[in-house]
Amino acid sequence: MNLAVIAAFTAAAISLVNIVVTAWLASGSQFRQWQREEARPITARILALSGEACLAWSHADKAEDDRQKHLQEGVAAVNKLRYEQAQLNLIATPPTRQAAESLVNGHMFAAAQLLGALRSDLQPTPMDELTATLEAWERALIDKFRADLGVPADRRWLRRLRLRPGGGS
């Protein structure tokens, strides 16, 4: 009789542990899902604002008469970019946060270069070089965020798989 009671209590304890562990795993999974759902549009806005700022920097570099207007547009985009980066800092993983920070810092550097060239005779970093650097940081942000989502950064492996004999149509 004692063995039956011990067996019942043991089964109940194991069942309770199973429930607790399942609930804990489910809540972690829900948090990660929420995190991905919230970070996705923020990252998309960061990339869109980065594109706007790059376009403004390019126009400011080439324009003579309305350079100040383009610089103001770029600075406005960077200010919005900084806000989005702050939001991403609250929920993203460290690699994604670092990539976003590098991108924002790159835009701030580009703004400083263009504003400095406007105010003095200093020769700024060539715009092509700045744009290439900003695009590399955008790609780094995309790669880090895709890694957060569990999506491979490079999809060429899928194409290679399809091109193999018997690898698909």
Tens-place pLDDT, residues 14-56: 777 777 777 666 666 777 777 778 888 899 999 999 999 999 9
**Closest by Cα among 109, 88, 106, 108 to 44:** 88
pTM for the model stands at 0.69
More confident residue, 65 or 107: 107
Domain 38-153 is of which CATH architecture? Up-down Bundle (1.20)
pLDDT at 169: 46
